[in-house]
Structure 1
Amino acid sequence: MSDMQSKDISYEVVHYHTELPFKILNVHKKDLYPNKDLSAVSDVLDHWHNELEIVYSYSDDGEYFTDGIAHPLKKGLFIIVNTRSIHKVISNRTTPYDKLPPTLTTVLQISDSFLRNYIPNFDELYFIPVFKPGEERPAEIMKDLAQYADGKPLTKYENMRLLGLVHELLYFICKDDLSLKDTELPEKSRKNADILRKIISYTEENYDGAINEMSVAETFGYSASYFSRFFKSNMGITYKEFLTRMRVNAAKDSLVQTQKSVLEIAMDCGFSDSRGLINMFNKLEGITPLQYRKKYAETV
C-alpha cells in the first residue's frame, strides 16, 4: 500500500518478495486500528501503480474509491483496481472493533507485464471495478491465496500451485468483467496514462544507467520544465524521487538474491557510489542496506 500519511496522489512501486509476478497481502484490523481506536485509523489515501489490484472483502467496513467513484465494501465483494487507476480506501469508522473480522481484506497485486503475456490487447481493456461473480470459486481462490500473504515462505513446488490459482482467478474475472477502455475512461486520462506508461517502461529499462529528469524529458521530446510539471501532477512525486525509489527497490532484490557488496549493488542500480545508496536506503527504509539484507534473510 501507499504512504498512508500522504495527502497527494502518489505512485507506488510494488516490491515483490518472491520470484512470482504478483504480491499477496492481508489487511488486518489490529494493524488498521491501533489500540482498537476507530478514530485513529490510518486510511490508505490516493495512490496508483502499474499492477492490477484485486481486493476481496471480509467485512462491510469502509469504501474503496477508484478513479473518484466510491464503492462500498461488502462481505464477499470483489473490487478490481485497474492498472494506473487512482484509488484510496476510507474506513466508515462506525462498525465496533469487536464486530470486525480479524482480516478485513485480502489484496492481490499482479504485474501488468505478466498480464500482457496473456491478454494481447490489454492496454485497450478496462476491468469493471465492482466484480460480482456468479459462482463461489473466485472467493474460494482468494481465501486460499490469503494463506500465502505478506511474503510467507513457500515450500517446494508451492509457487506452481499459487501461479495456477492466480491464472484460474484471472480466467473468471476476464471472462465476465472486461470492457473496452474507451467506453469507460475520458480521452485525456487515457492519453496521460499511455504517456506515463512509456516513461515508466523506459525508466525500468534504463534506471541502471546515467539517466535523469532532463535526459528523459529530452528523450520524449519535452522541455525539462513541462516534463517536470506533467510528471509531478500525474504521479504525485518528482521524476527524481520516482527514479530513486526504483533504484532502491532494485537494490533490495540484489541485497537478498546476491552476495554482492554494497558498492557493487550501488553501481549496478545507477548510483554513483555506495554512499548515495546508503543515504537513500536510510531515508526510504529507515535502515542501512546491510541491515535490510540481514533482516530479510532472517525472515525467509
Structure 2
Amino acid sequence: MEVCQHEVVNPNQGLLSFLYVHNGQETTYIEPHWHRAVELSYTSRGSIDHFYIAGENFQTTSGQILVVNTQDVHSIRVLNYKKEPELALTIIYPYPFLVGQCNTINHCQFDINHPETFSEEQKQAYKHLQDILEGIILDFQTDNPQKNLKLNLGILQVLDILVTSFLVDNKDNLHKNNRLQIAERIKEIDSFLQQNYQEDIGLEELADYCHLSRSYMARFFKSHLGVTLGQYLGTIRAQKARDSLIETKDRFTDIALEHGFSGLRSMNRALETNFGKTARQLREEQ
C-alpha cells in the first residue's frame, strides 16, 4: 500500500504561518497527504463537497471550520461545478511554531470539527473565531502597508482561541491508527483509478485489486468517499477530457472514447456536472 505524501510547509514571506484565500468554482482535487503542521480550513461562502480528514468525510457549508491535526492524512475533492465561486481560507501552522507557543501541544490535538458536541462556551468561541477568520480574508484581499501586521495578529488570535477552547488530550492512538489505514486505502484506490480510468472498471475489479470483497468496497465508497464508483470515475474522466479539449484540437468523439466514455453524450453529461459546460463550450473558451 502506498504511503501518503508528506508535505513540507513553508510560511508566506513575512507571516507566521502559511495563509491562502481560495476563490473558485471548478472541480478541485487535492490528493491524500500529510504534513507536520496543523491546518485550519474555513469555508466563508459556498461549500466543499468532500473534505477527508483521517478517513472521516466532511461536507462543509458557509461558516464551517475544520482543523487537520498534525500528521493526519487528508484530501479535498470538489465534485461539481458551482454557479457561485467558493470563498475559503486556509491557515497552516508549522509544528515547531506551535510547540514554541504552547508546549503542551506535543500530547494534545484540536477538537473542533463536530460543533454539535460543543458546550455553550465553545459555541461562543466558535462564533468569535468565525468573525476573526472573516477579518483575515478581508485583510488578505486588501493592499495595505500594514497588511502583514494585521494578518499576523489574526493568525495569533485564531491560535489563542484554538488552544484556549478546543485543545484536548490525545489518548486515542488506536483510533488514530485506524483512521490512517482508511486514509491510506483511499490513496490506494485513487492511485489505481487515476492509472486505469480509461478501462471499464467495476466494483469487482477494484475490490480484487485491493484484496477486499465487493460488498465491503461498496460500503467503503459510500462511507468514506461519499460517492459511487461511477461518480468518482466520471469526475476523473471529465478532468482528463477537459485537459484534452483545452490542449488539443482532437475531435470530440475521439476525446470521449480516449478517456473512457461511451460517447460524446456521456462525456458532455460529465463535463456539465463538473464544469457547467459542454465540450463545445469548453473548446470555444480557448
Q: Secondary structure in 2 aligned to 1:56?
A: strand
Structure 2: 5+ residue stretches without partners: 116-121, 181-286
For residue 170 of structure 2, what is the aligned residue in structure 1? 181
> Which residue does 2:113 correspond to in 1?
130
Corresponding residue of 1:42: 28
Secondary structure of the corresponding residue to residue 147 of structure 1: helix
Question: Of 82, 103, 112, which aligns to 1:97?
Answer: 82
Measure, in 1, the Cα distance between the counterparts of 2:16 and 2:143.
15
In structure 2, the residue matched to 1:83 is 70
CA contact (8 A) 1:43 1:90 kept: yes
For residues 83 and 123 of structure 1, the distance between their equivalents in structure 2, rounded to whole angstroms, comes to 10
How many residue pairs get aligned? The number is: 169
SS in structure 1 at match of 2:171: helix
How large is the Cα RMSD of the aligned pairs? 2.9
Q: Report the TM-score, using the length of structure 2 for normalisation.
A: 0.52
Change (3 A) 1:8 1:62: farther
Distance 2:159 2:75 in 1: 23
The amino acid across from 1:16 in the alignment is P
Change (3 A) 1:44 1:144: same
TM-score normalised by the chain length of structure 1:
0.50
Q: What is the CA deviation profile of residues 128-176 of structure 1, one whole-angstrom value per residue up to 9, with x for unaligned ones?
A: 25064523321121122123549x87624x4333222122112222222
Give the greater-gyration-radius structure (CA).
Answer: 2
1:246 match: none
For residues 37 and 137 of structure 2, what CA distance do their matches in structure 1 show?
Answer: 18
Q: CA deviation at 1:187?
A: 8.3
Structure 1 residue 141 and structure 2 residue 132: aligned?
yes
Q: 1:51 aligns with which of 29, 37, 41?
A: 37
Question: CA separation in 1, counterparts of 2:33 and 2:15?
Answer: 23
Q: Which residue of 2 aligns with 1:228?
A: none
Query: d(CA) in 2 for partners of 1:67 and 1:174?
Result: 21
Alignment of 1:62-81 (within 5 A): 62-81=49-68
Structure with more relative contact order (C-alpha pairs < 8 Å, separation 6 or more): 2
Give me the identity figure in percent.
Answer: 15
Classify the secondary structure of the residue corresponding to 2:42: strand
Question: AA paired with 2:35?
Answer: H
Gaps of 5+ in 1: 1-6, 34-40, 193-300
Aligned to 1:109, which of 92, 117, 125?
A: 92
1:155 aligns with 2:142: no
| CA gap 1:119/1:149 in 2 versus in 1, 3 angstroms | same
Which amino acid is 2:8 matched to? V
